[in-house]
């Protein structure tokens, strides 16, 4: 029975993949776009054809046959052996030696050189945040290995107005109290610069927290861009600020609104004063104020110093 061991981080004899995160706007994901990227990658040296030196100047390690790795088989129990792959201890695991005078001057015996690669990334309508776009065989090259891939990972940037949820787009819409009660019209600019007009229904009252949507005005569906999700509107009613409505207008406004509910106040009810709530001020601070009052003899009717008037 065989048990596998560690074989390093290389799979299927491929070169290293190059992974690059690309920040994209919501507009680009909505409309589609083409972005050009300049990347640095390893390619096989043309001068020495990936040998690292002159023809015949490279000596291979006899222990690992130039691979840099050796396979050892260990018996771990009756009828059970484990196969382990590890770096060759000879020649510092390089697998090969090149006489310094025979080294390739272009790659300095490394067999590979750096190259600047420009790629075009096609962003299709409706692609998701985190979508991977793969350029097969465009990654790092190494002698004796299949070239790796370039993998572009889309990173959706936050939008100041719209928030994406799959194919739906969400946005906050603020209306005034007048618009809430009397109706409104709003113009919404879409991600492809169209103008949408929304109008409340006659007699409809829109409250804070109400959610409405426009069908087929959300994100395009990936690979089916003629179909779209919903544009979801979250309404927030802005009330007048303090003293914005003059006192003489309040009575007129009250006549137009439904009457206030009648409140029966018990004889033993205590009248309180409403103050502004400050979440930064804890209850402990109020307790400390009370404790300070406990130390003040004037609060409990204790002796106080009285200055005599001088005539």
**Do residue 145 and residue 199 come from a single domain?**
no
Question: Which range marks the domain in which residue 212 is found?
Answer: 163-238
Q: Is 159 exposed, middle or buried (0-12, 13-18, 19+ CB in 10 A)?
A: middle
What's the whole-model pTM score? Answer: 0.72
**Do residue 109 and residue 223 come from a single domain?**
no
- pLDDT for the residue 44: 95
The residue ranges of DSSP E strands in the chain, in sequence order, are 2-4, 18-24, 33-44, 58-60, 69-77, 80-87, 96-98, 112-123, 132-135, 150-156, 163-165, 168-176, 185-189, 195-199, 211-214, 220-221, 224-228, 231-238
- pLDDT for the residue 219: 98
**Do residue 53 and residue 189 come from a single domain?**
no
The answer to whether residue 249 is domain-embedded is: no
Q: Band of the pLDDT at 212, cuts 50, 70, 90?
A: very high
Separation CA 296–CA 299 (nearest Å): 6
User: Average pLDDT of 29-49?
Assistant: 95
- Tell me the percentage of the chain whose pLDDT exceeds 90: 54
Domain finish residue from 156, 178, 205: 156
**Tell me: the pLDDT tens digits for 283-305?**
666 555 555 655 555 555 555 44
CATH number at residue 26: 2.60.260.20
């Amino acid at each position: 029975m065989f048990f596998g061991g560690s074989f390093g981080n290389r799979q299927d004899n491929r070169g290293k993949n190059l992974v690059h995160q690309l920040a994209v706007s919501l507009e680009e994901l909505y409309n589609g776009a083409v972005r050009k990227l300049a990347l640095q990658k390893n390619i096989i040296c043309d001068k020495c054809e990936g040998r690292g030196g002159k023809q015949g100047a490279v000596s291979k390690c006899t222990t690992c046959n130039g691979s840099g790795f050796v396979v050892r088989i260990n018996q771990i129990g009756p009828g059970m052996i484990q196969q382990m792959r590890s770096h060759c201890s000879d020649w510092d695991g390089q697998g090969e030696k090149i006489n310094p005078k025979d080294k390739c001057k272009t790659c300095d015996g490394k067999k590979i050189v750096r190259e600047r690669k420009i790629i075009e990334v096609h962003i299709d309508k409706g692609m998701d945040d985190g979508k991977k776009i793969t350029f097969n065989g465009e990654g790092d090259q190494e002698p004796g290995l299949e070239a790796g891939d370039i993998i572009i990972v889309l990173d959706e940037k936050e939008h100041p107005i719209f928030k994406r949820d799959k194919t739906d787009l969400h946005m906050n819409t603020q209306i005034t109290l007048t618009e809430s009660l009397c109706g409104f019209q709003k113009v919404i600019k879409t991600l492809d610069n169209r103008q949408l007009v929304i109008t409340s229904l006659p007699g409809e009252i829109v409250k804070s927290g109400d959610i409405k949507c426009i069908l087929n005005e959300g994100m395009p569906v990936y690979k089916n861009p003629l179909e779209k999700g919903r544009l979801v509107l979250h309404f927030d009613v802005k009330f007048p600020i303090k003293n914005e409505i003059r006192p003489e207008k309040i009575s007129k406004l009250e006549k137009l609104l439904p009457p206030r509910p009648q409140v029966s106040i018990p004889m033993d009810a205590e009248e309180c004063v409403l103050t502004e709530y400050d979440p930064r001020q804890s209850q402990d601070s109020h307790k400390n104020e009370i404790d300070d009052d406990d130390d003040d003899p004037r609060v409990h009717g204790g002796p106080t110093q009285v200055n005599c008037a001088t005539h």
